[in-house]
A and B are shown apart, each in its own frame.
Chain A
Amino acid sequence: MAPLIEVRNLVYRYEDGAVALNGVNFRLDAGESVALLGANGSGKTTFVLHLNGLLGAEGGDDRGSVVVCGMPVSKRNLVAVRRKIGMVFQDSESQLFMPTVLEDVTFGPLNLGFAPVEAEERARAALDRVGMAGATGRAPYHLSAGEKKRVAIAGILAMDPEILVLDEPTTFLDPPGQRALADLLQDLPQAKILVTHDTSFARSICTRAVFFQQGTIQASGSIEDIVDRFEWDFTPARTNPGR
């Protein structure tokens, strides 16, 4: 079966010439949940921003290729790509930028061209899905961190994506909030990419993991393997008997 995401040899340089991504290969199949692990600055977030064209959409000769749901990510099909792959960012405060919860969740469907009435229906259904149906008229500023994260996810679900990407979702969440989020994510059928430092959270959601270091994927395998191999402080284990 065709992969949902296929990345080949992705390269990205900052303006000052420093290399951020140095030939990344990656694949995501339907229904999979993959964790992207690695230290700060290792390239995880930069990589993920390429998946929906926030970076790298201009293309170029040696940049490598990113194909999402059969579509090569380029300037011409950004909206189509962004319909398929929904991204939840680390700071929900910047993600929920509309005055009320309902208006915010309606934002996505409206952009995709749905009529206002249908967009609102989708929004309400999505809010219901994440358990925030009663919050439609509330201002995002007054929600708790966990509630904000749910509404942010609803904003993506309302667009009916096939892939969910979450960048450090457990930042700002206390343990109960993290558990609630894990429960919600486990329940969603979409394929997931989880960028995180929180290995126990990753373990509860993902089956597979890749390890980023200095702009490349150093290792890929089952979540248990990767977490054990690279230890909690993300350095390769000094002694690795039998591996």
Chain B
Amino acid sequence: MHRSDPRAKIVALLVFLVVLTTSRRDLLLIALGLGGYLCFTILWSRLPLIGALGRAAVVLPFSIAFALVCWMSGDPAKGVHLAAKSYLSALAVLLVVSTTPLPTLMRGLEALGAPRFLLMVGQFLYRYLFVISEEGQHMAKAAQSRGATAAGIVGQTARFRAAAGALAVLFARSYGRAAEIHRAMLARGFQGHFETATALRFRKADLGLAIGGSLAPVVLRVAVERWF
């Protein structure tokens, strides 16, 4: 699973998501079935199951809040549907993202026709995400220590200003880093567009994964709807 072509995984994921979103009848049974299918695939990919289930739960607070209100307004089914759909979709995406390094995933998306420029922006964003977050943490601490300890409005205003100053410095640093990156690109012969690296190879095993992964959720849903 880890070494499969990203395009196969993306296609299977898309089919899964479409089947999930468009389900309305017997949703709970379908959700159970799809959930089981995902758990099976997670185990098959040798990923930690409990960890994956936990990470996907990040989406739950939001959807559970809505579910509760839906329940109190007399339409509990809608709330449960919402929660189930958002959880399963998060789990499915997590599965794909955990078995595909992000750069490979980007290349797969590009091969499937996603616009290059947006993907490059995403790639640079991810590359420098942790770098700048670390700098942000330092700035946050600096802002805290520079901010006044006075209570009340005076202290709050001072801390507010300190935070704004810290953000401005982080902005300037990030901007400067972008300039450095551009300089480094030029120094290595960059002429205006990013050249494509080696192409991805689609093998028979990948085709099998794409077809199998796409059929499974469809078959599951049709089966549930026909027999229940």
Contact = CB atoms under 8 A, between A and B. Distances in A.
Most interface-central of B130, B183, B187, B199 (chain A CB within 10 A): B187
A99 interface: yes
Contact of A155 (B102, B180, B188, B197): B188
Given A98-B127, A99-B106, 14 more contacts: A52-B187, A54-B183, A87-B187, A91-B177, A94-B180, A99-B126, A108-B188, A111-B191, A116-B197, A119-B197, A137-B101, A139-B127, A140-B127, A155-B188
A99 B123 contact: yes
B195 A111 contact: yes
Given A82-B186, A82-B187, A116-B196, A141 B131 contact: yes
B131 A93 contact: yes
Interface string A90-124: 01011101111001001110111000110110000
Given A54-B186, A98-B127, A110 B197 contact: yes
30 contacts: A82-B186, A83-B189, A87-B187, A89-B180, A91-B177, A91-B180, A93-B177, A94-B184, A97-B124, A97-B127, A97-B181, A97-B185, A99-B101, A100-B101, A100-B103, A107-B185, A107-B188, A108-B189, A111-B188, A111-B191, A116-B197, A116-B199, A117-B198, A119-B197, A120-B197, A120-B198, A137-B101, A141-B127, A159-B188, A159-B189
A180 interface: no
Nearest to A100: B103
A97 B189 CA distance: 14
A100 B185 CA distance: 15
Interface string A78-90: 1100110011010
Nearest to B189: A111
B190 interface: yes
A107 B189 CA distance: 9
Contacts of A111: 188-191, 195
A156 B188 CA distance: 7
Most interface-central of A93, A94, A137, A155 (chain B CB within 10 A): A94
B78 to A, nearest CB: 41
Contacts of A100: 101, 103
Contact of A94 (B130, B181, B188): B181
B112 to A, nearest CB: 18
A140 B124 CA distance: 12
Contacts of B124: 97
A156 B127 CA distance: 20
A225 B199 CA distance: 54
Contacts of B106: 99
Interface string A202-229: 0000000000000000000000000000
Interface of B is mostly: helix
B188 A82 contact: yes
B134 to A, nearest CB: 10
A222 B101 CA distance: 50
A33 B187 CA distance: 20
A63 B61 CA distance: 64
A83 B191 CA distance: 12
Nearest to A80: B189
A82 to B, nearest CB: 5
Interface in B165-202: 177, 180-181, 183-191, 195-199
Contacts of A137: 101
A161 to B, nearest CB: 10
Given A94-B177, A99-B103, A141 B185 contact: no
Contacts of A119: 197
Nearest to B123: A99
Most interface-central of B181, B188, B189 (chain A CB within 10 A): B188
B191 A79 contact: yes
Nearest to A108: B188
Contacts of A54: 183, 186-187
Interface in A134-191: 137, 139-141, 155-156, 159
Contact of A110 (B102, B187, B195): B195
Contacts of B191: 79, 111
Interface in B42-61: none
